[in-house]
Amino acid sequence: MNPKPHTAGQAALQIVKKLRSDGHVALLAGGCVRDMLLDRTPKDYDVATDAKPARVQELFPRARLVGAKFGVVLVRKSGFDTEVATFRSDGPYSDGRHPDAVTFGTEIEDARRRDFTINGLFFDPLDDRVIDYVGGRDDLAAAVIRTIGDPDHRFSEDHLRMLRAVRLAARLGFTIEPQTANAIERLAPNLKVISAERIWRELEEILTAPTRAAGWSLLVQLGLCDHLATGLLVRESLLAPTLRPDSAIQRRLTALPASPIDPALALAVLLCDGGVAAAKDVCRALRLSNRLTQAVVWLVGSLPMLRTESDLELADLKILMAEPNWPQLVELLRVDLIATAAYPAPYEYVCRRAEAIDSADVAPPPLLSGDDLAAMGMPPGPRFGEILNTIYRAQLNTKITTRDEANIMAGELMMS
Ligand code: ATP
Ligand code: MG
């Protein structure tokens, strides 16, 4: 079970070797061990050691202390960053997210401070040996997510673990052990105290992954989605009538492809029934970037234009197609139609029309510019923009195709 050459895993192995030759205990720890045992490629590798951060920094001059409080040092090797953390036990938690203090401790304490049994394993890559103080191997074999120790206690320490449980269960196709699940159901309202940024980071992973339908279903079953983004996701019955396993949201999520998707599309799939204003509220509550918010709002706002085999003007279609998120919009349309059993007619109609448009004709340079209009004696003002827009729409609609035609049209519009 050794990491492949030229990988993040090899870099971690080199770090382990160096710490060991310096007389320290050093092991691979946590998620990477879980993933290696499951034959999955770990996202990142963590090393746990009895060496204190200062010693780690001496041994690896290019290392950076990233979590002084937690004794975490980031070591850069062969182009990969590996977190090297000193064995520790976490003190009491009073903010529902972080320990007030940590003390350096033993290997066993370091295993027990971790969240779930499957995340509490160590691997000694030099002896090719898994070290299990928490029953993680049995739970891996049984495909079960279980907290290390009392679930009420562990979720009360750090409420974010509730979302981590869902993310892991969905991603790995595991079930959440009944006592662990039961604690989540009871403690779900505590999500409120977690920052929107942290919630979004977990939610984004849940929703963009191919296993998003299973993830959402768990969020619903465990009552967590009521408390995401301080309840905004369900406020004003935005999602409330759809919080059933057979909801439109669930059907849309199920209809998405089994590959990662764009976060804007993921959110639009959740929010497209609620309208633009509500979508904006949710994006704001989740403190998303302006760029992501705009993309979500555009998707939610544009979908109704395509939902029916409507008389959408060619110009409107081209304006939609010119947006960078057009492929996402087409996908949103597809899954929305599947969810409402209206597939495939409107989808095929839109695709047929879009395919018939040459890419150069989607957003052609305007036949007439603002300068041209000003040169014709058009004074500045609201009418100026309206006329330019009308002429450009006529161009997109192929009503006019030459500059002469555009000039004539401008003249007529200025007179009227
Ligand atoms: P991923 O594959 O998404 O990286 P992971 O389990 O490796 O999942 P990380 O955030 O990389 O998650 O954390 C590495 C390890 O640190 C975890 O496997 C777990 O042992 C421990 N850990 C992370 N977050 C927590 C937490 N909130 N509470 C307790 N232990 C945690
Ligand atoms: Mg990890």
Which are the contacts of 219, defined by CB distance < 8 A and separation ≥ 6?
Answer: 166, 206, 225, 228
- 78 pLDDT above the threshold of 90: no
Chosen CATH of 1-139 out of 3.40.50.2300, 3.20.20.70, 3.30.460.10, 3.20.20.220: 3.30.460.10
Residue 229 scores a pLDDT above 90: no
Q: Answer for the pair 36, 99: CB distance below 8 angstroms, yes or no.
A: no
158 lines ligand 1 (CB under 6 A): yes
The ligand minimizing its distance to the Cα of 114 is 1
Does the pLDDT of residue 237 top 50, yes or no?
Answer: no
Mean of per-residue pLDDT scores for the chain: 92
Tell whether ligand 1 has an atom less than 6 A from the beta carbon of residue 115.
Answer: yes
Rounded Cα gap, residues 145 and 183, in angstroms: 13
State in Å, rounded, how far the first CA of the chain is from the last one. 79
pLDDT class for 280, splitting at 50, 70, 90? very high
Cα of 67 from ligand 2 centre, angstroms:
16
Cβ–ligand 1 contact at 129 (below 6 Å): no
- Cα–Cα separations (whole angstroms), residue 300 to 248, 249, 312: 15, 13, 17
Query: What CA–CA distance (Å, rounded) separates 205 from 23?
Result: 39
Distance from residue 50's CA to the centre of ligand 1 (Å): 19
Q: Where are the domains of the chain?
A: 1-139, 370-415
Find out whether the beta carbon of 132 lies less than 6 Å from any atom of ligand 1: no
pLDDT of residue 94: 83
- In Å, the largest CA–CA distance within the chain is 90
230-252 average pLDDT score: 61
In the predicted structure, residue 398 carries a pLDDT above the cut 50: yes
Query: 66 — phi, psi (to 5°)?
Result: -100, -30
What pLDDT, on a 0 to 100 scale, did the predictor assign at position 308?
Answer: 77
Pocket flag, ligand 1, residue 3 (CB < 6 Å):
no
The answer to whether the bond into 241 is cis (omega within 30° of 0) is no
* 326-370 confidence digits (pLDDT tens): 999 999 999 999 998 888 989 999 999 999 999 999 999 999 999
Residue 232 has pLDDT above 80, yes or no: no
- Judge whether 155 and 189 are in contact, CB under 8 Å: no
pLDDT band at 206 (very low <50, low <70, confident <90, very high): very high
Ligand 1, atom 9: nearest CA belongs to which residue?
31
What is the rounded average pLDDT of the residues 206-233?
Answer: 86
Which pLDDT tens digit goes with each residue over 56-77?
Answer: 999 998 899 987 778 899 999 8
Q: Decide whether any atom of ligand 1 lies within 6 Å of the 46 Cβ.
A: yes
Distance 119 CA to ligand 1 centre (A): 7
Among 27, 89, 109, 114, say which to mutate for ligand 1: greatest number of ligand atoms within 8 Å of CB.
114
| Residue whose C-alpha is closest to residue 46's, from 143, 121, 138, 157 | 121
Nearest residue (CA) to ligand 1, atom 13: 31
Query: pTM higher than 0.75 for the full model?
Result: yes
Band of the pLDDT at 6, cuts 50, 70, 90? low
- Closest ligand to Cα 194: 1
Question: Among the listed ranges 2-11, 206-215, 329-338, 390-399, which one has the minimum average pLDDT value?
Answer: 2-11
Cβ pair 376, 414 in contact under 8 A: yes
Q: What integer is the mean pLDDT of 261-268? A: 97
Residue 31 CA to ligand 2 centre (angstroms): 5
Closest ligand to C-alpha of residue 41 is 1
pLDDT in the model for residue 132: 98
Ligand 1 pocket, residue 114 CB under 6 Å: yes
Q: Is the CB of 44 under 6 A from ligand 1?
A: yes
Mean local confidence (pLDDT), 377-395? 93
With a 6 Å cutoff on the Cβ, whether 107 touches ligand 1 is: no
Pick from 409, 364, 366, 363: which is nearest to 387 by CA?
A: 409
**Among candidate residues 385, 382, 387, 383, the one with its CA nearest the CA of residue 411:** 387
Closest CA to ligand 1's atom 10: 31
Atom of ligand 1 nearest to the CA of 205: 3
Integer Cα distance of 271 and 200 in angstroms: 15
Confidence of residue 235 (pLDDT cuts 50, 70, 90): very low
Whether 238 has a pLDDT exceeding 70, the answer reads no
d(CA 273, CA 270): 8
Instruction: Check whether 246 has a pLDDT greater than 80.
Output: no
Residue 145 Cα, ligand 2 centroid: separation in angstroms? 16
* Helices and strands (H and E) in the chain: how many: 21, 11
Beta bridge partners of 83: 46, 74
Give 209's pLDDT tier (boundaries 50, 70, 90).
Answer: very high
Average pLDDT in the 248-267 region? 95
Give the per-residue pLDDT at 390.
96
Q: How far apart are CA 155 and CA 162, in angstroms?
A: 7
236 pLDDT above the threshold of 50: no
Residue 378's region, left for phi above 0, alpha for psi from -120 to 50, else beta, is beta
Q: Tell me the pLDDT band of 303, cut-offs 50, 70 and 90.
A: very high
Distance 213 CA to ligand 1 centre (A): 22
pLDDT band for position 152 (50/70/90)? very high
Q: What is the pLDDT of residue 410?
A: 94
> In which residue are the tokens 């989605």 written?
225
Select from 278, 393, 262 the least CA-distant residue to 329.
262
CA-proximal residue: ligand 1, atom 21 (nearest): 114
- What is the per-residue pLDDT for 140? 98
pLDDT tens digits, one per residue of 186-196:
999 999 889 88
pLDDT surpasses 60 at 234: no
Residue 239 reports pLDDT greater than 60: no
